[in-house]
């Protein structure tokens, strides 16, 4: 079966005001299959978020190709991009980025549902259900982002991302503000969605023990490149590259 | 040495709803108090209450927070401005939001230093570069010349920690200071924070979900749930022999690396 996501030779160069080049992502290729949970781990600043922003078309690639569900979306915009977002959703590293500060969390989620054809009433009911499965009481629908804690905002962002039952969910440090018991509940929810709908995950995470528990496969990034890749157990227990070894030795 | 900060039966409310109930503890100079617990239990609120940063809707509705004989919730905004940063430093949970988006990191940090009496731009840049290098930045000058959006999440977080340290405060209120860092960089940042405590006797209130970080840094540990303290004691003791059912549940849920 064709993969849900295939990226080939992705490259992203940023230019500073002074015109200096910074290659944030360099020749990155990988695929994510239906129902698969793939982690990206690696050094802070190594290009993980940039890969996620390229795949979700929030940032233009310098080089390379992105294929989602068999469609080339490398340059997609407008209607085609909207179609892609029905299949692919992302939870950002900073919860603040996920929600408009002027709208309530509930409006943020309901709007997303209404954009894809639900009636106002359906959207409202579904919003409450989604908040509940993410461990948030109904009154959070009426709260503004600044009225929720860091972890509550993160859970609301996850609720919105799963609202459209996408085929691919990109989670950028999406559980880093959760205590471990709430985190375990969210991961159980994600695993259930994976089983029911073959949802695939691209899971960017610094917590290597969590990656070992949750993910099937790992990509290790360092200075813009994927330096090691393989089954989670294999990479974590028997790292081959010096950088991966150093990383795993630093786990507290 | 001696006691530097005391929370005395503190309640905090937002819009008249009490979210933090009856929290009491004291921190000694040079002591690191870890604060862990449920998401939404009031950890960030406790730190913000000390800095008068609860926003329009929030206030300390009972009890007091004492700093050197002064009640922090009663300080005028002018008095608070004078001590914030230089005496009590804050590292925010959302590192990105503590910076202005349209000016470079170097410009913003120098302004902060100027507000607390530093005039020499060159000296400042030297100090900042030296500190950044110890935070795992291979090219510190690039960080000074960058706008916040040009930095990754973990880079912004490190700049936030470094900024708070530049002023050498007596107390550091650190809200999830390493949550966006990979484990090798996390180790470097922990070492720097421990060094600051060692050299300047800085007391640290450290909010984190990461029990490994608590183990590596904290002398005492406070566990919060639902706006209340459920456990408070020597960190090693609480980690080895948790008493409260919630603490036991929390520690049991920590994912452990199988090597
Ligand atoms: N908009 C931008 N303009 C210029 N440089 C950028 C921009 N966004 C990211 N960078 C740079 O690209 C590199 C990769 O950043 P990225 O955010 O992808 O890292 P990351 O792996 O997600 O790190 P972290 O774990 O700290 O979040 C960094 O050096 C960063 O400074
Ligand atoms: N401005 C506000 N208005 C109303 N309620 C608020 C406001 N700010 C915070 N709260 C509520 O107060 C409680 C405590 O929030 P706080 O941010 O202190 O939690 P936290 O322990 O830091 O959680 P996390 O680990 O998720 O960051 C939460 O239930 C939150 O929803
Ligand atoms: Mg990132
Ligand atoms: Mg918080």
A134 and A182 both lie in a single domain: no
d(CA A84, CA B231): 48
A40 and A106 both lie in a single domain: no
Q: Is residue A94 part of a domain?
A: no
pLDDT digits (tens, 9 = 90+) for B43-81: 999 999 999 999 999 999 999 999 989 999 999 999 999
A108 and A80 both lie in a single domain: no
Q: Is the pLDDT confidence value at B132 over 70? A: yes
pLDDT computed for residue B214 by the predictor:
97
**Residue range B141-146: mean pLDDT, rounded:** 94
**Which of A11, A17, A26, A47 maximizes ligand 1 atoms within 8 Å of its Cβ, making it the mutation to test the pocket?**
A47
Residues within 8 A of B (CB atoms), A 24-83 only: 41-45, 48-49
A24 and A47 both lie in a single domain: yes
A79 and A176 both lie in a single domain: yes
**Residue range B126-146: mean pLDDT, rounded:** 94
Which residues' Cβ are closer than 6 Å to ligand 2? A 146-152, 177; B 14-15, 19, 39-45, 55, 57-58, 93
d(CA A208, CA A198): 24
* pLDDT grade for A94, boundaries at 50, 70 and 90: confident
Residues within 8 A of B (CB atoms), A 182-201 only: 182-184
A140 and A184 both lie in a single domain: no
Architecture of the domain whose range is B3-98+171-252: 3-Layer(aba) Sandwich (3.40)
Ligand 2: residue whose CA is nearest its atom 27: A150
Higher-confidence residue of A113 and B101: namely: A113
Per-residue DSSP letter, A141: G
A171 and A242 both lie in a single domain: yes
pLDDT computed for residue B1 by the predictor:
63
Query: Where a domain ends, among A145, A165, A185?
Result: A165
* pLDDT grade for A3, boundaries at 50, 70 and 90: very high
A14 and A55 both lie in a single domain: yes
Q: Is residue A33 part of a domain?
A: yes
Strands B3-14 and A88-91: unpaired
A57 and A107 both lie in a single domain: no
What is the CA(B151)–ligand 3 centre distance, in A?
Answer: 9
Mean residue pLDDT across chain A: 94
Q: Is the pLDDT confidence value at B93 over 90? A: no
Residues 6+ apart with CB under 8 A from B186: A206, A250, A252, B178, B213
Q: Is residue A92 part of a domain?
A: no
* pLDDT grade for A48, boundaries at 50, 70 and 90: very high
Q: Is the pLDDT confidence value at B101 over 90? A: no
A244 and A171 both lie in a single domain: yes
Test A184 with B253 for CB contact under 8 angstroms.
yes
Q: Is residue A93 part of a domain?
A: no
Query: Where a domain ends, among A149, A165, A181?
Result: A165
pLDDT digits (tens, 9 = 90+) for B111-120: 999 988 889 9
A156 and A125 both lie in a single domain: yes
Residues within 8 A of A (CB atoms), B 173-232 only: 176, 179-187, 209-213, 215-216
Predicted ipTM of the assembly: 0.92
Q: Is residue A47 part of a domain?
A: yes
**Residue range B16-34: mean pLDDT, rounded:** 97
CATH, residue A43: 3.40.50.300
Q: Is the pLDDT confidence value at A85 over 70? A: yes
pLDDT computed for residue A125 by the predictor:
96
Number of domains comprising chain A: 2
In this structure, what is the dihedral angle of CA atoms A205, A208, A209, A211, given to the nearest 10 degrees? 50
pLDDT computed for residue B37 by the predictor:
97
d(CA A117, CA A108): 15
Q: Is residue A69 part of a domain?
A: yes
A234 and A131 both lie in a single domain: no
Query: Domain span at residue A149?
Result: 99-165
Q: Which residue has the tokens 């985190």?
A: A183
**Given A44, A172, A179, which is nearest B39 (Cβ)?**
A179
């Amino acid at each position: 079966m064709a993969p849900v996501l295939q990226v080939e030779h992705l490259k992203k160069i940023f230019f500073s005001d002074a015109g200096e080049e910074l290659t944030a992502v360099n020749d990155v290729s990988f695929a994510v299959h239906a129902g698969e949970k793939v982690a990206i781990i690696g050094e802070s600043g190594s290009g993980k978020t940039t890969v996620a922003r390229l795949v979700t078309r929030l940032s233009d690639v310098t080089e390379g190709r992105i294929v989602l569900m068999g469609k080339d979306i490398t340059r997609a915009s407008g209607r085609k991009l909207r179609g892609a977002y029905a299949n692919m959703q992302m939870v950002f590293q900073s919860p603040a980025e996920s929600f408009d500060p002027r709208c309530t969390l509930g409006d943020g989620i309901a709007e997303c549902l209404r954009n894809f054809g639900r009636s106002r009433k359906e959207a409202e009911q579904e919003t409450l259900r989604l908040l509940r499965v993410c461990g948030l009481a109904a009154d959070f629908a009426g709260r503004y982002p600044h009225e929720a804690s860091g972890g509550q905002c993160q859970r609301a962002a996850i609720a919105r991302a799963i609202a459209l039952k996408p085929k691919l969910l990109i989670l950028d440090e999406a559980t880093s503000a959760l205590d471990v018991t709430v985190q375990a509940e969210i991961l159980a929810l994600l695993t259930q969605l994976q089983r029911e709908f073959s949802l695939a995950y691209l899971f960017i995470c610094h917590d290597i023990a969590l990656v070992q528990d949750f993910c099937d496969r790992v990509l290790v990034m360092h200075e813009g490149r994927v330096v090691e890749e393989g089954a989670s157990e294999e990479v974590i227990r028997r790292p081959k590259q010096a950088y991966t070894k150093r990383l795993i030795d630093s786990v507290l | 040495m001696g006691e530097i900060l005391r929370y005395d039966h503190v309640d905090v409310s937002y819009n008249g709803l009490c979210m933090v109930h009856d929290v009491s503890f004291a921190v000694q100079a040079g002591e690191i108090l870890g604060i862990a617990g449920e998401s939404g239990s009031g950890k960030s609120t406790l730190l913000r209450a000390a800095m008068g940063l609860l926003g329009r809707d929030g206030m300390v509705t009972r009890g007091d927070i004492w700093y050197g004989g002064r009640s922090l919730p009663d300080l005028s905004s002018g008095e608070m401005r004078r001590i914030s940063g230089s005496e009590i430093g804050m590292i925010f949970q959302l590192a990105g939001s503590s910076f202005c988006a349209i000016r470079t990191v170097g410009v913003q940090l120098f302004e902060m230093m100027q507000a607390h009496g530093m005039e020499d731009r060159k000296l400042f840049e030297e100090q900042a570069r030296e500190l950044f290098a110890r935070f795992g930045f291979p090219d510190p000058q690039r960080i000074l010349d960058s706008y916040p959006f040009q930095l990754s999440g973990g880079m912004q977080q490190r700049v936030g920690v470094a900024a708070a340290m530049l002023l050498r405060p007596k107390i550091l209120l650190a809200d999830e200071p390493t949550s966006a860092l990979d484990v090798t960089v996390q180790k470097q940042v922990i070492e720097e924070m421990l060094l600051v405590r060692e050299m300047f006797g800085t007391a640290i209130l450290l909010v984190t979900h990461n029990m490994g970080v608590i183990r590596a840094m904290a002398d005492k540990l406070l566990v919060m749930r639902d706006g209340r303290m459920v456990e408070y004691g020597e960190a090693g003791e609480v980690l080895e022999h948790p008493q409260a059912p919630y603490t036991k549940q929390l520690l049991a849920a920590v994912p452990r690396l199988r090597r």
